[in-house]
Structure 1
Amino acid sequence: MSAVLADPALGSAPGWPLVLYFHHVNALVDHYTALSPDDFRRGLETVLDLVGPALDPAAVGPGFRPPDQPSVLFTFDDGYRDNLEVAAPLLAEFGVKVLLFCVTGELDAAERLSEPERAALPPRKSFLTWAEAERFSAYGHVLSAHTVSHLPLPELGHGEAAEQVAASLRGVGERTGGPVRTFAYPYGLIPERSPVPAGVLAFGTVKAAPASWAHRPLHIRRTYLPVGQVARWAGLAIGWRKQWFESQ
């Protein structure tokens, strides 16, 4: 992966929504997509003010047509407990809805733990139960798929990778009662031969090149707000908005 692609300053394809990804809103987590609550609030303010309004994730799926102004799709990966307990109230302050890409096997495992067992887990191991994920969904957020086991798909055989994707899509669909139209690759690693079934949009990370969703619906780029670089965020947001107008 080139350094240019990895740079978060490179946003989405011109004319398409900016897509941001997070894992945690938790001051105790050290990860490049984990923000403290105060920084997450500041990030929401910055992006919404300087890029554009939040996109409704319920509108995102195959055949999606981008709005005629810059907009932002907010996404979370994995399905951690702090997404509900910490992020959800902050998102509600701004009226922002998100796509939550769930590792379905981890949510299954969380269901089997007692509350004392869950309370003893570090934040990086503390996942939502399905009941909690459904509460998150009841706030207007959209549950989606991120494989069963969060394995790097290019390292699997095609059949195993396809089953990881399909089983997670089924698992989320059974819980939500509707078709699941989006998927995110673990670690942003996209196999050469697609394991994603027809009728699904698939999201990468900063490892994916910016390209029209209509032309590369299985390679959608996402970027992020760099942790510890709050002073840089306004410049990033202004740059992302300018990129939206390129080639228009």
Structure 2
Amino acid sequence: MNGRHKAIAAAFKLMATTGADRWSRGFAQGAGVILTLHHVRPHAPQGFSPNALLEITPEFLDTTLWLIRAEGYDIVSLDEALLRLQQPKRGRFFVALTFDDGYRDNVEHAWPVLAKHGVPWTLFVTPGFADRTARLWWLELEEAIRVLPRLDVVLPDGRFSARTETDSEKSRAFDKLYWRLRRGPEELLLSAISELAAEAGIDPAALVERECLPWETLRALSGAPGVTIGAHTLTHPMLAKHDAETARREIAGSKARLEAELGMPIHPFAYPVGDSGSAGPREFALAQEAGFVSAVTTRPGHLFAEHAEHLQALPRVSLNGLHQNEVALRALLSGLPFWLRNRGRKLDLA
């Protein structure tokens, strides 16, 4: 856990100690919240785990669902969440659960917990992952750095070199290179990581095969009670980094492909990466144009009545794997961290 995450943990603890996570609910909590999850799987201790924030344990998922219910909150489907934005139930705070990318562990480890609690959930699927043609580039980068003792990458803005012999060196190198590549064109990011993966002997398609659900499982899952399938583009690009036609094809194409493969209408959409640098007003309009009833970002925040007029730009709150404890969870459900971050603004649409 780096300094930033330690500061976040300290802030959560302060909110609990002062009771702020309770007395702030009247103005910070809103009508409900959509939670973002990725991996759910047993903890496997590793010194170098830069993507650990994207995974929680089945035990913490169980704790999360138990605590939500203990607080008297309703766990609802994404469709029901939209309905409650438009037709509020006073005093009934709601929580909707969403899982991005379509990972195998969502079925193997998350679904049994969800079924035990009898709660609905939405799985956002990228057809390219089911096809084994899209790339989990953030995982490729992790696996390459895990193998390589040194990085030497030639980039347009200069060479990136770093020793990666120890776990701490690997963590520092990942963080620096990841964000340097994220700031540039996605084509450059994919090219640079391809070179590192090749140097380390990493097979990108094998990683996708290992991590992501195949079509046959998705077809079976799509008819299961309580499960909603949503679209997550064709190949998981950061849409705002591409031209309008590419973004339109990725958004509308994912809906068409999933409907053809699963034989059912697809109503919700999730923007890959989902921050302001990956999805903005253009993408919100394209999602509406493609016929999606709703679309979710990863811009952090709770849902307020005002979001009923902006259903293609809904915020979510991530269950961060680096903060798997009740103190953090209560803070997230209070809405206070996001009210402070957004300076009291309910909408973040720019």
TM-score, reference length from structure 1: 0.78
Count of residue pairs brought into register by the alignment? 233
Q: Unpaired segments of 5 or more residues in structure 2? A: 13-20, 134-204, 339-343, 345-350
CA contact (8 A) 2:129 2:208 kept: no
User: Counting helix residues as a fraction of each chain, which structure ranks higher?
Assistant: 2
Following the alignment from structure 1 to structure 2, what is the Cα–Cα distance between the partners of residues 81 and 89? 13
Partner of 2:142: none
Partner of 1:34: 55
Amino acid in the other structure paired with 1:129: P
User: Counting strand residues as a fraction of each chain, which structure ranks higher?
Assistant: 2
Partner of 2:321: 227
The range that moved more, 98-107 or 29-38, is: 29-38
1:17-56 equivalences in 2 (<5 Å): 17-26=32-41, 27-28=43-44, 30-50=51-71, 52-56=73-77
Matched-pair identity in %: 25
Match of 2:282 among 193, 203, 223: 193
CA deviation map 1:136-179 (0-9, x unaligned): 23243011100011000001100110110011111122233332
Following the alignment from structure 2 to structure 1, what is the Cα–Cα distance between the partners of residues 303 and 79? 22
1:229-248 equivalences in 2 (<5 Å): 229=323, 230-236=325-331, 239-240=334-335
CA contact (8 A) 1:46 1:233 kept: no
The range that moved more, 37-46 or 49-58, is: 49-58
Higher Rg: 2
CA contact (8 A) 1:57 1:141 kept: no
Following the alignment from structure 1 to structure 2, what is the Cα–Cα distance between the partners of residues 53 and 20? 13
TM-score, reference length from structure 2: 0.57
1:128-139 equivalences in 2 (<5 Å): 128-137=213-222, 138-139=224-225
CA contact (8 A) 1:88 1:136 kept: no
Deviation at 1:98, TM superposition (A): 0.7
CA deviation map 1:178-214 (0-9, x unaligned): 3221100000121331321344211001357865332
Partner of 2:308: 214
CA deviation map 1:98-151 (0-9, x unaligned): 1111011111228xxxxxxxxx95589511112211232324301110001100
CA contact (8 A) 2:33 2:302 kept: no
Following the alignment from structure 2 to structure 1, what is the Cα–Cα distance between the partners of residues 251 and 240? 12
Following the alignment from structure 2 to structure 1, what is the Cα–Cα distance between the partners of residues 114 and 218? 15
CA contact (8 A) 1:50 1:234 kept: no
Amino acid in the other structure paired with 1:90: V
CA contact (8 A) 2:230 2:267 kept: yes
Amino acid in the other structure paired with 1:80: Y
CA deviation map 1:17-58 (0-9, x unaligned): 310010010234743231011112112212232261211235
Following the alignment from structure 1 to structure 2, what is the Cα–Cα distance between the partners of residues 154 and 109? 24
